Amino acid sequence: MYRNHILYLLEKYQTLVLVGETGSGKSTQIPQYLLEAGWGNKGFVIGITQPRRVAAVTVAQRIAEERGSILGQEIGYAIRFENFTNAESTRIKFMTDGYLVQELMRDPLLLKYSVIVLDEAHERSLYTDISMGLLKKIQRKRADLRIVIASATLDAEKFQQFFNQNETDDSSLDTATILSVEGRSYPVDIMYTSSPVPNYLDATVNAVQKIHETLPAGDVLAFLTGQDEVEKALRRLIDYARDQSGSGMKLMVLPMYSNLPAQDQMKVFQRMGKNTRKVVLATNIAETSITINGICYVIDCGFHKLRAFSADSGIDGVVVAPVSQASATQRAGRAGRLRSGKAFRLYTETEYNKLPQASVPEMQRSDLGTAILQLKCLGIDNVLRFNFPSAPSAKTMIRGLDLLYALGAIDDFGKLTEPLGIRMADFPLEPKLARMILVSGQYGCTDEAITIAAMLQVKNIFHSPPNRKLAANKAKRKFAVKEGDHITLLNVYDAFISNNKSSRWCQEHYLNYKGLMRSLTIREQLERLLKKFKLPLKSSEGDVDSILRCIVEGFYGNAARYHPSGCYRTIRDNNELHIHPTSVLYSTKVQPWVVFHEILRSGKDYMRDMTVIDPKWLYELAPHYYQYGTEREIAAKRLKVDHSEPT
């Protein structure tokens, strides 16, 4: 119905802001319209971005099926560490918005692309905003490049103004326009609670049970905030399903969250038998783009997890926050994709009216170290003046620049260092990990460094089934070492290789076979990057100290020491931290000094992936970052010091 309108506006304007209701076919139909209209001719590619990996993969698969083509040929997808495209034949390429920024580093003007579609732009992910700023710059050089900003809920006028290159009052010279498209979704009845619920997890489980017992056939999608909550609800509903077996319709309960292995994520798209009701317990990964067949009932707990970076403390954590009205609308819309449905909101209508219209853009609540590094690599030296759709605070930008300067990626003038800074920008990893790998040759442990980096990309190497926790913990202790999590992950990988990558061996030792195979693929890609830089692969041959020193080279900014109060405190900012329960150091004797990979914020601030270090290394390896001596000596700026711990 809107095909001709879309194609006409794209011929006339450089940018089309498309506001399409849920079910309007934004994700699946528009790419095909563009291909059929010839935007993929003469070797050009139509690029479509999605904020999440699973959406990029599933939408690409769906369009390939609709067109009867093999995935990876005419229709392909590219996500971090996984490229399923053909350089010659792919005409529609789905990717994450982070991958698009990587493409820009290889091809700054995106010369092989004719159209870029930024889908689900209302989510305002970090790389969506960066992509918008970069694409606006490219349009000044490439008048032929077309951009489509698509979303179900979007502040359309704001983006139309952002992309409009017309600086006069004559609207006929506008380069950006807005088109609103009606959806094909079915009506959804929205139910609110009469009073606030004391515990939304309990309320979600109870709501699923009540739907199963009282409402007609139809699958259920329940939104929770994170993996822990999904797994808790999963255990309770599996027990409930067992008790209900033999009494009418069966219940199949499936989880869906970002750290779930890909093959388990895909289970939610499988069709169930006639006498089986599917219940999907999901994080906001299922909020947009993907359509799960059969969903008629949605349960919205009213909360989601957001990344939140504090420029003052330097802590980048995850917090549970109320959803926005835009997110609530998207969640409810999942119930009306295939037939009329019901959405149960576990909060009152009064509370809904108090919710913010939209979530704070990720750009304004993220650590910007990686983003700044990539912008610098693209030739944008003055990142503070870069044209972002929603500018981050100067404090956050300065913190990101400070990190890059400390890691040696930028010099005194804010320019990328050669070769370290340029190579760090080329790595599809955070700057700390990239530095660890790039300096590993000095310690003779490149082989081990890329293994550790690859293993850290897979978050769920150890399985811990609810009914086999004791056995799983015992198996984990076989690999655990006093040095901490990084060397433990190295041991797991080495044992996996020495046991011929056996899936049976993984099962016996409660290890994630698919995750280990993925880490193997990632490691191969990192190895290829090192060969590209002509850096030799060296092994430490069992010298653990050299590996630990190499880890400190990347993570000296993430150092903490044990405090008499019973917690850890970061050295630079004196923030209180705790050991995450999944760490191998959680149940061992106290280690005075550690470095960590990341912080998880869940009630308390937890350190994940920790390594025990010698405090002297901090000053030896990062004298520009740490001062040496007691606080009094440092305050007095004495030249000679007598004590041996950094502060």
Is the predicted pLDDT of residue 469 greater than 60, yes or no?
Answer: yes
d(CA 405, CA 410): 5
Q: Are strands 219-223 and 276-282 parallel, antiparallel or unpaired?
A: parallel
Share of the chain above pLDDT 70, in %: 93
Closest CA to 234 of 256, 213, 249, 214: 256
538-559 pLDDT, tens digit per residue, is 999 889 999 999 999 999 989 9
31-53 pLDDT, tens digit per residue, is 999 999 999 998 899 999 998 88
d(CA 381, CA 377): 9
- Residues 598-620 have a mean pLDDT of 88
412-429 pLDDT, tens digit per residue, is 988 999 999 999 988 889
Span of 54-58, 280-284, 486-490 with lowest mean pLDDT: 54-58
Question: Could you tell me the two tokens for 92?
Answer: 């529609």
Is the predicted pLDDT of residue 236 greater than 60, yes or no?
Answer: yes
Domain segments of the chain as ranges: 3-181, 188-362, 549-635
d(CA 86, CA 69): 13
Is the predicted pLDDT of residue 367 greater than 60, yes or no?
Answer: yes
Please tell me the predicted confidence (pLDDT) of residue 639: 47
Q: Which residues of 605-617 are buried (b: 16+ CB within 10 A; e: fewer)?
A: bbbbbbbbbebeb
Please tell me the predicted confidence (pLDDT) of residue 642: 43
- Residues 245-270 have a mean pLDDT of 80
Is the model more confident about 407 or about 260?
407
d(CA 13, CA 409): 39
Span of 93-97, 110-114, 365-369 with lowest mean pLDDT: 365-369
E strands, 447-534, in order? none
Please tell me the predicted confidence (pLDDT) of residue 638: 44
Please tell me the predicted confidence (pLDDT) of residue 90: 94
- What's the mean pLDDT when you consider all of the chain? 87
Please tell me the predicted confidence (pLDDT) of residue 290: 66
Q: May I ask the CATH class of domain 188-362?
A: alpha beta
Please tell me the predicted confidence (pLDDT) of residue 635: 60
Amino acid at site 593: W
Is the model more confident about 393 or about 452?
452
Is the predicted pLDDT of residue 462 greater than 50, yes or no?
Answer: yes
562-576 pLDDT, tens digit per residue, is 999 989 999 888 889
User: The domain 3-181: what is its CATH number?
Assistant: 3.40.50.300
Amino acid at site 17: V
Q: Of all residues in the chain, what percent are helix, strand and coil, respectively (each to 5)?
A: 45, 20, 35
285-326 pLDDT, tens digit per residue, is 877 656 788 899 999 999 998 888 887 777 777 778 899 888
145-183 pLDDT, tens digit per residue, is 999 998 766 678 888 888 998 888 787 788 999 988 876
Give whole-number Cα distances, 549 to 488, 598, 616, in Å. 16, 18, 11
Counting every residue written for the chain, the total comes to 647
Is the predicted pLDDT of residue 245 greater than 90, yes or no?
Answer: no
Is the model more confident about 589 or about 484?
484
Region of residue 166 (phi > 0: left; psi between -120 and 50: alpha; otherwise: beta): beta
- Residues 88-107 have a mean pLDDT of 92
pTM: 0.80
Cβ distance 188 to 340 under 8 Å? yes
Cβ distance 146 to 114 under 8 Å? yes
Give the count of beta carbons closer than 10 Å to the beta carbon of residue 325.
17
